[in-house]
Amino acid sequence: GNSVTQMEGPVTLSEEAFLTINCTYTATGYPSLFWYVQYPGEGLQLLLKATKADDKGSNKGFEATYRKETTSFHLEKGSVQVSDSAVYFCALLYSSASKIIFGSGTRLSIRP
C-alpha cells in the first residue's frame, strides 16, 4: 500500500547546524509530496510541497526535492534556528484520493 517513512527522532542540533530529515515513500503512480510542521501549541501547517518529479519545494529556508528514482523527499535547511524546533511530518497525496498519508513525524530540537 501507499506509505511514508521518515527518520525517527528526536533530532537535536545546535543553532546554525545543517539539517536533513529523511523521508521516503511507497506509492504507485505520481503522488504529490509535502512537508508539514507542527510548532509547540499550534496546529499543523504546510511547510512546502512538490507535485512532480524533480520539483523543489522551498519555504522559510527549508528545501526538499522530489526524487522519483529514489522515492525520496528529504527536508534540508542550511542553518537552523531555535525557532525551527517543532515536529516535522512528511506526507503524500494522490490526486484522485481525498486523503493525505502522513509519516510518523520527526521531532526536532535546536539548542542555542
Partner 1 sequence: DAGVTQSPTHLIKTRGQHVTLRCSPISGHKSVSWYQQVLGQGPQFIFQYYEKEERGRGNFPDRFSARQFPNYSSELNVNALLLGDSALYLCASSFSSGNTGELFFGEGSRLTVL
- Residues 43-102 contacting partner 1, CB under 8 A: 43-46, 49, 89, 91, 93, 95, 97-102
Cβ-defined contacts of 81-85 (< 8 Å, 24+) = 81/15, 81/16, 81/110, 82/15, 82/110, 82/111, 82/112, 83/110, 84/19, 84/108, 84/110, 85/39, 85/40, 85/109, 85/110
**Cβ distance to partner 1 smaller for residue 80 or 101:** 101
Query: Per rule CB under 8 A, is residue 37 in the interface with partner 1?
Result: no
Binding piece for partner 1, criterion CB under 8 A, among 11-19, 42-50, 60-68, 75-83: 42-50
Residue type, 82: V
* Residues in touch with partner 1 (CB under 8 A): 4, 32, 34, 41-46, 49, 89, 91, 93, 95, 97-105
